[in-house]
Amino acid sequence: MEHKIKILEKYASEHLKGIKPWELRKNDRNYKVGDTIEFEIVDEAGKRNGIKYLRLITNILHGGVYGLEEGFCIMTITEY
């Protein structure tokens, strides 16, 4: 499944530089390993700048353990 998500430019730049290979999100989309995420970069006001990029979910830590709140997840993502 492909998820389409907006992301602020300051966080997207960390993905694109390869220094943040993970994403913390509310798990309201039932993310699964093997799903892809299409990130669309937006500014602080929510305005789209037209830049999109894809990532593949390779691992998920579901909330409720290690201090991560229930209903949230941390996903390991790689270039797709």
Compute the distance between CA of residue 13 and CA of residue 24 in angstroms, rounded to an integer. Answer: 15
Dmax over CA atoms of the chain, in Å, equals 37
Q: What is the pTM of this model?
A: 0.92
Starting at the earlier edge strand, list the strands of the sheet with 36-42: 2-8, 36-42, 48-62, 72-79, 22-26
∠ at Cα 8 (64, 57), nearest 5°? Answer: 50
Domain count, the chain: 1
Tell me the CATH number at 34: 2.30.130.30
Q: What is the pLDDT of residues 1-42, one digit of tens each?
A: 999 999 999 999 999 999 999 999 999 999 999 999 999 999
Q: What is the pLDDT of residues 43-80, one digit of tens each?
A: 998 889 889 999 999 999 999 999 999 999 999 999 98
- Supply 14's token pair: 């960390």
Residue 80's pLDDT is 87
The residue segments making up the domain with residue 67 are: 2-79
